[in-house]
Each structure stands twice: as C-alpha cells, then as structure tokens.
Amino acid sequence: MTRRWVHEEYTAFARTERRRIMMSIARFAHINRPIEGCYFEFGCHEANTMRLAWDCFHHLFDWDYIAFDSFEGLPEVEDDDRSTIFYGGNLSTSENRFVEILTQHGMPHDKLRTVKGFYEHSLNAELRDRLLPTKVAVAYIDCDLYRSTVPVLQFIVPFLQKGTIIVFDDWNCYHASPDHGERRAWTEFTAAHPDVCFEPFVSTGEAQSFVCVDAGRVR
C-alpha cells in the first residue's frame, strides 16, 4: 500500500460522499417541488463540486449557478483558523480556468456566473441588490475558515426560502470543535437569527447540511 494509492482512495471516497449529498438534495428538491432559485457555491477550487452539482441537478431543475471565490486561494489565515492544511494562497484556481473547466464539462455559459473577490469585500450590498429577488435553492459553503464563513452567512440571509439547503463542506475540520471554522460561524449565525429555523439534513464524515424550514422575516 503506497501513499499515492491511499491518496487516490481518499479522493475517490470524498467524491462519493459529496455525490451522496448532491443526490440527496436532488431527491429532496424533487419531492418538495417547486424549489426554485439558484445554486450558490462559496469556495470553488478546481470546479469539482460545481461540476457535480451540475450533473446532479440540471436535468431536473432550471437553476442558475453562481460561483463565489477569490480565485486566488485562501486569505491569510488568522489565529482562530490556524491549521496545518489551511494557509494563505492555498486552494487556488484562476477564474478563467474555473470557467474553462465547467464549459468543457458541458455547462452553458448562460447558466454560470462568477463573483470574484475575498468575501468581506465581494459580498456587499450592491451585489445583494443585483441578485435579488431571486432565492437560493442550495448554498454550498466550502470556505474552510471561520473568517470566510461569517460574511457568507450574513450575505445569504435575504436569499433564504423554505426548502433552502445549506451544506458545510468542512464541518468536521478542527477536530469538530464548535469553537472554530464553519461550526463556530454557524452557531453564531443561528443565535443571531432565531426567527430562521433549520433542521439537520444529510451528513458525512466531513460535511453537514441543513434545510431551512422557516425563513422567518426574510420569507
């Protein structure tokens, strides 16, 4: 057994787990149709998850796909997010390469939109107003860091609807500690928005998803 073999097996397993989440979402959205809106993805390195989302959803739902990413890798990692696998500039795929991968995969240009920039700058009121009144069907959050997840959750509030599914790709990083990463950001977010109600959805060894059962005042 070589290190390369282990890495290939791990990669294949991770892909299978993500596919299980996406197919579960597709089944949920089909049963509870119509769930209209967009697929939002935050953190889009190598377009792997976006390609999977397109494959699982586009035959059933006429959603648009919006990719939010710096396209320059992670920001500088602050002390609360310190980790051996996360560091500034890591996980970088250029915007042009990202679009190229998806169009070669078969996604039409008119179904894809990219929003470039670090989230504390790009997820602003101007962008929010341009995208509204559309709602989000699925928000896939692959931000790794607490610092990056906080502005994402703040941004998506007015896009939530009954049936929106939020997926956290890195839920169990930081040894699943509630004091770090996406878990910490989610705990703070739900405490700040008690009128928006969620129920747990599909989970894996790495990810956790939730379904919005009541969008509260943002309905």
Whichever domain contains 31, its CATH number is 3.40.50.150
What is the reported pTM? 0.90
In angstroms, the CA 141 to CA 148 distance is 10
The answer to whether residue 149 sits within a structural domain is: yes
The answer to whether residue 209 sits within a structural domain is: no
Here the tokens at position 39 are: 């697929």
- Write out the residue range of the structural domain in which residue 89 sits: 3-162
CA separation, residue 102 to residues 54, 113, 142 (Å): 9, 11, 18
The answer to whether residue 202 sits within a structural domain is: no
Here the tokens at position 32 are: 């509870």
Q: How many CB atoms lie within 10 A of CB 182?
A: 27
The pLDDT tens digits along the chain (219 residues) read: 566 655 566 677 778 888 999 999 999 999 998 999 999 999 998 899 999 999 999 999 999 999 999 888 666 666 666 665 555 556 668 899 999 999 999 999 999 999 999 999 999 999 999 999 999 999 999 987 898 999 999 999 999 999 999 999 999 988 888 998 899 999 999 999 999 999 999 999 889 999 999 887 554
The answer to whether residue 211 sits within a structural domain is: no
User: What is the number of domains present in the chain?
Assistant: 1
